[in-house]
A = this chain, B = another copy of it.
């Protein structure tokens, strides 16, 4: 019985202010917590599954309605749920990319974009970032030309991050999509750090696919996420099975090949749905979140030697910071080495900085309230002063 015995109750969110770079947008709302308790059993949303027997047709709980609302909210034509953004990349790659096809992603792409394309057998190329750590339409255009010349055909898809995981920079998606479309290349938006925390309008961005992450940015349990697309591509990515049993003659209705039929049958879909009203509301207050992000960044920059590697002023709550000339100088002589920073923060009730990191690290202020933001600002500066760093 040892496995159960050693699962400690998790109390990170109850006891600490959590600035972990990947966890901020996935904290459940209270409504989602309640729904998670009621729907934790395996096939809990299947009680009222009627013909044609597919998750997105279930009306009780209102999963069908949620799919429609979600598509409208993203200003896209159709939405399906998937077990994480990565499974959305996979569905699109598997539908659009033939083995050996050249494809483009970026110098800031997440590893899950690579593996989804690798799985599809793609010939993967990056679009370089510019000196400001941005993916630009100019670089995209140049790279499309280059790759097309080398491969003898145009890339079959272009994956781009709305907000990248390394710097938390917001990229010029509309411009990149416009360029890609001039070459008839469909564009997939990796919205793992945008869908659910900041406004996303798929049509305005001009992309063909919007991928969101439930557990990263939509206050939902893991694994959850979504693929949204246009009517042009819905029939391709959400194509239904054509299988026929060669002996039985069986066919399988409207089950979708890339979704593999139903996707999120319990706590994951209900968690997403229960948080959705709050998520729709919170993206309208993104300006406040960005302001909070800038307050913390400013407080850190006041510690002499500290540099922000992300865009300034911040346009997102995820930030990459360089403290090699501030906290890392302390680490060199501190008896706890680099661990002094995470440990000092923890003593002040703050968690989420990788233990040992004092050089280049990331944090995310998403969802913290004014008082928590003030506390985080103060805590960083107090730790600096306690360790004889100059706070300007």
Contacts and interface: CB of A to CB of B under 8 A. Distances in A.
Interface of A: 1-4, 6-13, 20, 22-23, 25-28, 31-44, 46-47, 60-62, 65-66, 69, 83-84, 86-87, 90, 94, 99, 107, 109, 111-112, 114-119, 124-128, 214-216, 219-223, 241-243, 245-248, 252, 255-258, 260-261, 263-268, 270-271, 273-274, 276-277, 351
Contacts of A216: 42-43
Contact of A261 (B41, B69, B86, B274): B86
Q: Assembly of this chain: how many copies? A: 2
Given A26-B43, A36-B37, A107-B247, A83 B87 contact: yes
A87 to B, nearest CB: 7
Contacts of A276: 3-4
A221 B37 CA distance: 11
A265 B222 contact: yes
B246 A61 contact: no
28 contacts: A2-B65, A3-B277, A4-B31, A4-B273, A7-B61, A9-B34, A12-B44, A12-B47, A23-B42, A26-B41, A36-B36, A36-B267, A37-B37, A40-B221, A42-B214, A42-B222, A43-B222, A83-B84, A90-B260, A99-B99, A114-B252, A115-B243, A115-B261, A118-B242, A124-B246, A126-B247, A221-B221, A222-B265
B42 A264 contact: no
Nearest to A224: B42
A111 B10 contact: no
B6 A223 contact: no
Among all A-B residue pairs, the 4 with the closest Cβ atoms: A26-B42, A42-B215, A83-B83, A222-B266
B31 A245 contact: no
A36 to B, nearest CB: 4
Contacts of A23: 41-44, 46
A119 B94 contact: yes
